[in-house]
Every structure is written in C-alpha cells, then in structure tokens.
C-alpha cells in the first residue's frame, strides 16, 4: 500500500495535486477540509460545530478530526492506499494517524511537503475565493490567520515525519504540471 501525507500551507495546491495523484496512483483521497465542508452543507451537528472554527481560520479540536478521519479509514476497503490532505495538522494528529494505520498494518509511506512563498499563497487563496465562494478564502484577515496557525501549530508536523525518515520537501512554485511532475518523481522513488 502507498499511504501519502500531502502537506503544506493553505493555498499550497494540496487539493489540486491530490486530485491528479489519486487518478494516477488510484488512492483514496481523504481531505479533512472537504469532509467538513460536506458536513456543513448537510447541516449536520459536526458541520455546525466546525463552522465556528473555519470562519475564523482556527483549527478544530484534535479529537474531533481524529475521530472523523478514523471512521473514514475504517469504512474504506480494498484500495492501493490513502492520500491525506489537510491532515495531520498537529503533532497529536500525526501520532493518532500512526496508531490508526498501525491497526490496519499499513503505515505512512511518505510525507510530501509543498513549499510555497507567503505572497504567492495569499494571491492563490484570494483567486480561489473568487471562483469557489469559500468564505475563508475571501477575507484577507482570515487568510492571514490561517497562515499564522499553519506556521505555529502545523509546521512541527514536518519534524515528526523527518524523524521517521519520511519527510520530502517539494518546490510548490510553478505550474500545476511542473509541481505534479516533481511529486510523481518522489512518489515513484517510494514505490
Ligand atoms: P482546508 O480546506 O484544509 O484549508 O481546511 C479548512 C478549515 O477546516 C481549516 O481552516 C480548519 O478550520 C478546518 N480543518 C481542516 N482540517 C483540519 C485538521 N486536520 N485539524 C483541524 N482543523 C481542520
């Protein structure tokens, strides 16, 4: 099995690249942001709880997202592996993911970390906000907060995977196809 953590700040292109990776390598895409937005659209209690955090660009409590991803992993059968997008976002989430996958006898293979300059992130997010209608992509102060939360709470996750020899930084600047090519090269080395 090939289990990938696709990592990077908001606006790094994780969702776009994950779509291309799942098509090429036949993986199951688990995006916590997408799952939460679906819960919100369906007006479930989880979605309504999540909205309070998403509207401010803050992270949901670890337990909430860990339970959510745990149940998605449990429900998935017979795949080549998973690509985790937007998860784990804290070291506690990374530790919990290792335990969940250990139960399935299928560890994380590699962590691909998309590295993008801050100015470019803000530009991409504001551009996406105009087409997607995502409210957290339309307000520059929420965007600034999401990047700050990423720098403070999420970047330590790199060290977690570095210690396991699984951290692979990838240049996330350039065209979608250029970045995809860089990602595939590293994935192919891990196969
Ligand atoms: P994203 O689409 O990945 O940018 O996520 C949108 C929002 O969902 C984030 O700003 C958080 O409020 C919430 N969220 C998504 N994934 C997580 C996570 N792994 N841990 C905590 N909150 C999350």
What is the atom index within ligand 1 of the atom nearest the CA of 85?
Answer: 3
Cα–Cα distance between 123 and 155 in angstroms, integer? 21
Q: What is the mean pLDDT of the chain?
A: 96
10 lines ligand 1 (CB under 6 A): yes
Looking at residue 79, its pLDDT comes to 83
What are the residue boundaries of the structural domains of the chain, listed by start?
2-181
Tokens of 75: 């429900």
Burial, 139: exposed, middle or buried (Cβ in 10 Å; 0-12, 13-18, 19+)?
middle
What is the atom index within ligand 1 of the atom nearest the CA of 58?
Answer: 12
What is the atom index within ligand 1 of the atom nearest the CA of 89?
Answer: 19
pLDDT class of 29 with cuts at 50, 70, 90: very high
14 tagged catalytic: yes
Please say if the pLDDT value at position 185 is more than 90: yes
Q: Write out the CATH class of domain 2-181.
A: alpha beta
Gap from CA of 72 to ligand 1 centroid (Å): 16
Helix (H), strand (E) counts: the chain? 9, 5
- Average pLDDT (16-28) is 97
Please say if the pLDDT value at position 78 is more than 80: no
- Average pLDDT (45-67) is 97
Gap from CA of 119 to ligand 1 centroid (Å): 21
DSSP-derived secondary structure letter, 96: H
Report whether 149 contacts 142 (CB < 8 A): no
Q: Express as a percent the part of the chain with pLDDT over 70.
A: 100
Tokens of 50: 């999540």
Looking at residue 118, its pLDDT comes to 95
> For the segment 120-150, what is each residue's pLDDT rounded down to a tens digit?
999 999 999 999 989 999 999 999 999 999 9
124 tagged catalytic: no
146 tagged catalytic: yes
Is the Cα dihedral 118, 114, 54, 65 positive or negative?
A: negative
Q: Between β-strands 28-31 and 167-171, what pairing exists: parallel, antiparallel or unpaired?
A: unpaired
Cα–Cα distance between 189 and 86 in angstroms, integer? 23
The residues pairing with 168 across neighbouring beta strands, listed in sequence order, are 112
What kind and span of H or E run contains 168? Answer: strand 167-171
Looking at residue 77, its pLDDT comes to 80
């Amino acid at each position: 099995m090939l289990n990938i953590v696709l990592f990077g700040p908001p606006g790094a292109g994780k969702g776009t690249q994950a779509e291309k990776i799942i098509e090429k390598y036949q993986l199951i895409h688990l995006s916590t942001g997408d799952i939460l937005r679906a819960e919100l659209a369906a007006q479930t209690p989880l979605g309504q709880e999540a909205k309070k955090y998403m509207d401010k660009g803050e992270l949901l409590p670890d337990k909430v997202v860990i339970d959510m991803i745990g149940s998605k992993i449990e429900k998935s059968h017979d795949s080549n592996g998973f690509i985790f997008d937007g998860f784990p976002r804290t070291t506690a989430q990374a530790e919990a993911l290792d335990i969940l996958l250990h139960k399935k006898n299928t560890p994380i293979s590699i962590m691909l970390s998309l590295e993008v300059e801050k100015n470019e992130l803000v530009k991409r997010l504001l551009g996406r906000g105009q087409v997607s209608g995502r409210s957290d992509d339309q307000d520059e102060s929420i965007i600034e907060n999401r990047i700050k939360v990423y720098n403070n709470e999420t970047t330590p996750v790199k060290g977690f995977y570095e210690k396991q020899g699984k951290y692979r930084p990838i240049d996330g600047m350039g065209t979608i196809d250029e970045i995809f090519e860089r990602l595939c090269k590293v994935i192919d080395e891990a196969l």
